[in-house]
């Protein structure tokens, strides 16, 4: 099982919204759909809720409730660690344990959009939005810490 | 064309030495003739002198754990294995009809494949130079068959080029090689290489480009019967017999510009990477045959449905606590002199494990690849019957990335199972967020763009996202750079040593799991036999 060399070609498919779906019922099939909000090397959505659904909800649960097996994907819903934006920004960019780094696949605005969504939804209601510029600064800072 | 050697071939020489002096001297002769083995594997370990009553607890019954247990028991250790699942094998996993996949988040998929049909949803091919794995297959009586990796008659496909129609790999390959050879010949003829190559070298280069690129006497790659010998013939113009349509006709090459803009060139070294060199192998009946062969040897040592919660190290040994997964039973505790731990770091980093802060840090920092794989059963092997594709891989720039045709049961009139998608990166997370039925629909809609027979012939399928596998939380290890962290991960911490594909330079390959396991038990044995 290994990675074949993958195309770096960026193909942005026309955005087609998915029908709502739940854990219990498969969505009605949409013939010809292959909009995944992503290419081989980046996510293409810009809206926080949509990015959460594409990138995060598969592991953390569709409502961010968290899941567990031999170990867990922690809940993002009602998570006190969201009180500072720095914590989720760090996790998204640097990863930790089962959480991989998404740094190469999300730009600063996308990271900010996800973090702002997480901090004001899923039962979290923390004040203050993080900006793309702040994410850019943290990205640089974390990378330097990593290198040192 | 002559293959007749003018002097004894190296192989003939080796055979003579072997006959005269036994295979031991043949091995040393091979090494001295520069024919060294391509693997660090030097045969099964020789662990003699294990202390009386010494014990090892192995965490995880994947290939690394099973191999470690087998060899440690052979060496005289008392061994016990704790396994989270109700089955042995870990990622060495073959899905068959009647199997049920349970993913995190509540999705279940019932595998509906026909009798005898399967998909290797984890590792699916074995390079011929993975000598440890091949040796264990031989020792444990696992029959192998050839896995077809490269198939010139499979396709390259781009949604946005050639009208979205697939192109035969062999056409693109021959035409690309021919036309870049033509360009280089042109440059050479114009004196572009005069500064860097002698006249003699330039002449040899032109001769080689003409031969390698199948160029005509004017150094052109063009439509003629010579190029047809490599790229193939028009559908109705292949060489035949008798009178009717017998004489071959040349075929029209694809224009270089179309090949360049389609970016098909990016796929053209895939099958020539060392890890994919032909021939590759697969076990007859599915990859899991290997796990089952190990299980026949050491199955009696395994406690199933055991979720490890805590590892404590003392002066003289290791204690492991475990819960019972799913209901009945109480779990328990195992005490042993040593622990070989094959639990992936995605999970181990979350457990209460008594190891150095450095090793804990490395566990947290090693991340795992995502991957989504689909197995699709079709009622009829249309790729063989309609398109003459027997095994091999079609590559596409659609999210499914590839379609691999089965290497087993070729020419059967029954059904067949394709690998219908092998997705990495952000698109794998997008699939990870979708319900199985939605994933399947997406995979089918893409495959149908390459094979219009998909909709008519499809019978049943599964699409697995490895991040939702409860005992993995990912697919396989993704080291940025190994360096000192790798040494920390691979070195025994007091009496606790890690093993698995993640402790190897062969991430995601079963060979890495085995070589890692052999190194881990070497460390255990060295410690056990050197202790005062």
Name every chain B residue with its beta carbon within 8 A of the beta carbon of A97. Answer: 345-346, 349-350, 363-364
Q: Mark which residues 85-144 of A lie under 8 Å from B by CB.
A: 95-101, 105
Is the minimum CB–CB distance between B466 and chain A shorter than 8 Å?
A: no
The mean per-residue pLDDT over the stretch B204-226 comes to 97
Is the minimum CB–CB distance between B439 and chain A shorter than 8 Å?
A: no
Spell out where B60-134 has E strands: 78-82, 94-96, 100-102, 108-110, 118-120, 126-127
Structure-block tokens of residue A47: 């809206």
Place of tokens 């409860």: B470
CB pairs under 8 A between A and B: 178
Q: Is residue B513 very low, low, confident or very high in pLDDT (cuts 50, 70, 90)?
A: very high
pLDDT of amino acid B37: 53
Largest CA distance in chain A: 50
Name every chain A residue with its beta carbon within 8 A of the beta carbon of B430. Answer: 36-38, 54-55
Contact between A1 and B424 using a beta-carbon 8 Å cutoff:
no
pLDDT of amino acid A5: 38
For residue B14, pLDDT beyond 80: no
3-class state of residue B183 by DSSP? helix
- The closest alpha carbon to B396, from B155, B162, B184, belongs to B155
pLDDT per residue over B406-444, tens digit each? Answer: 999 999 999 999 999 999 999 999 999 999 999 999 999
Name every chain B residue with its beta carbon within 8 A of the beta carbon of A67. Answer: 104-105
Could you tell me which residue, B140 or B330, shows the higher pLDDT? Answer: B140
For residue B468, pLDDT beyond 90: yes
Closest chain B residue to A106 measured between Cα atoms? B426
Complete domains list, chain B, with CATH: 55-86+304-366+479-530 (3.50.50.60), 94-150+278-287+370-468 (3.90.660.10), 170-270 (1.20.1440.240)
pLDDT per residue over A51-96, tens digit each? Answer: 999 999 999 999 999 999 999 999 999 999 999 999 999 999 999 9
Give me the residue from A31, A39, A96 closest to B445, CB to CB: A31
pLDDT per residue over B339-358, tens digit each? Answer: 999 999 999 999 999 999 99
Name every chain A residue with its beta carbon within 8 A of the beta carbon of B398. Answer: 34
pLDDT of amino acid A34: 57
ipTM of the complex: 0.88
**Range B267-303 burial, b when 16+ CB lie within 10 A, else e:** bbebbeeeebeeebbbbebbbbbbbbbbbebbeebbb
Q: Are strands B372-378 and B458-465 parallel, antiparallel or unpaired?
A: antiparallel
Q: Which segment, A1-15, B35-49, B288-302, B327-341, is predicted with the most confidence on average?
A: B288-302
Name the minimum distance, in Å, from the CA of B112 to any CA of chain A: 18
Structure-block tokens of residue B158: 């781009």
**How far is residue B298 CA from its own chain's centroid?**
25
For residue B285, pLDDT beyond 70: yes
């Amino acid at each position: 099982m290994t990675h074949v060399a993958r195309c770096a070609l960026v193909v942005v498919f026309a955005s087609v919204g998915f029908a709502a779906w739940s854990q219990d019922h498969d969505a009605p099939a949409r013939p010809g759909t292959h909009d995944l909000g992503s290419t081989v090397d980046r996510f293409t959505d810009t809206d926080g809720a949509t990015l959460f659904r594409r990138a995060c909800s598969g592991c953390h649960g569709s409502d961010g409730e968290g899941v567990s097996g031999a170990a867990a994907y922690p809940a993002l819903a009602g998570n006190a660690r969201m009180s500072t934006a720095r914590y989720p920004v760090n996790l998204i960019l640097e990863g930790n344990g089962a959480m991989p780094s998404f740094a190469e696949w999300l730009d600063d605005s996308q990271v900010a959009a996800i973090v702002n969504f997480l901090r004001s939804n899923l039962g979290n209601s923390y004040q203050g939005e993080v900006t793309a510029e702040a994410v850019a600064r943290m990205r640089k800072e974390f990378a330097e810490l990593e290198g040192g | 064309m002559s293959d007749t050697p003018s002097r004894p071939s190296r192989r003939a020489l080796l055979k003579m030495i072997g006959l005269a002096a036994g295979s031991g001297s043949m091995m040393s002769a091979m090494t001295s003739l520069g024919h060294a083995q391509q693997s660090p594997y030097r045969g099964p370990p020789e662990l003699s002198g294990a202390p009386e009553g010494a014990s090892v607890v192995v965490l995880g019954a994947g290939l690394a754990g099973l191999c470690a247990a087998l060899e440690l028991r052979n060496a005289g250790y008392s061994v016990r294995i704790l396994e989270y699942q109700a089955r042995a094998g870990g990622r060495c996993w073959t899905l068959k009809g009647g199997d049920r996949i349970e993913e995190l988040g509540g999705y279940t998929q019932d595998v509906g494949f026909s009798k005898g049909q399967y998909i290797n949803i984890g590792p699916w091919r074995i390079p011929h130079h993975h000598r440890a794995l091949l040796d264990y297959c031989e020792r444990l009586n696992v029959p192998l068959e050839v896995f077809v990796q490269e198939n010139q008659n499979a396709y390259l496909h781009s949604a946005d080029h050639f009208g979205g129609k697939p192109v035969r790999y062999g056409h693109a390959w021959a035409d690309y090689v021919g036309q870049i050879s033509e360009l280089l010949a042109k440059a050479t003829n114009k004196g572009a290489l005069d500064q860097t190559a002698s006249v003699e070298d330039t002449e040899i280069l032109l001769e080689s480009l003409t031969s390698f690129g199948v160029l005509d006497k004017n150094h052109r790659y063009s439509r003629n019967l010579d190029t047809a010998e490599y790229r193939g013939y028009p559908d109705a113009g292949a060489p035949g017999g008798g009178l009717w349509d017998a004489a071959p006709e040349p075929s029209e090459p694809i224009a270089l510009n179309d090949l360049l803009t389609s970016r098909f060139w990016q796929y053209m070294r895939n099958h020539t990477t060392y890890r994919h060199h032909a021939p590759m192998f697969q076990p007859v009946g599915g990859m899991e045959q290997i796990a089952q062969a190990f299980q026949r040897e050491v199955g009696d040592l395994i406690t199933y449905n055991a979720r490890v919660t805590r590892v404590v190290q003392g002066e003289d040994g290791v204690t492991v606590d475990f819960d019972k997964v799913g209901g009945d039973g109480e779990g328990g505790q195992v005490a042993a002199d040593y622990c070989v731990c094959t639990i992936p770091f995605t999970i181990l980093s979350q457990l209460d494990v008594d190891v150095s802060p450095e090793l804990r840090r490395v566990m947290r920092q090693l991340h795992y690849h995502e991957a989504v794989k689909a197995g699709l059963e079709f009622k009829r092997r249309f790729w063989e019957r309609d398109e003459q594709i027997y095994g091999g891989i079609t590559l596409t720039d659609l999210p499914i990335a590839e379609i691999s045709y089965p290497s087993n049961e070729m020419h059967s009139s029954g059904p067949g199972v394709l690998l219908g998608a092998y997705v990495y990166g952000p698109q794998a997370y997008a699939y990870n967020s979708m319900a199985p039925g939605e994933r399947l629909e997406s995979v089918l809609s893409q495959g149908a763009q390459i094979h219009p027979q998909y909709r008519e012939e499809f019978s049943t399928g599964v699409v697995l996202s490895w991040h939702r596998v409860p005992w993995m939380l990912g697919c396989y290890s993704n080291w940025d750079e190994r360096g000192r962290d790798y040494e920390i991960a691979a070195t025994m911490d007091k009496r606790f040593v890690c093993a698995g594909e993640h402790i190897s330079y062969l991430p995601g390959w079963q060979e890495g799991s085995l070589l890692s396991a052999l190194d881990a038990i070497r460390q255990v044995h060295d410690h056990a036999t050197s202790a005062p």
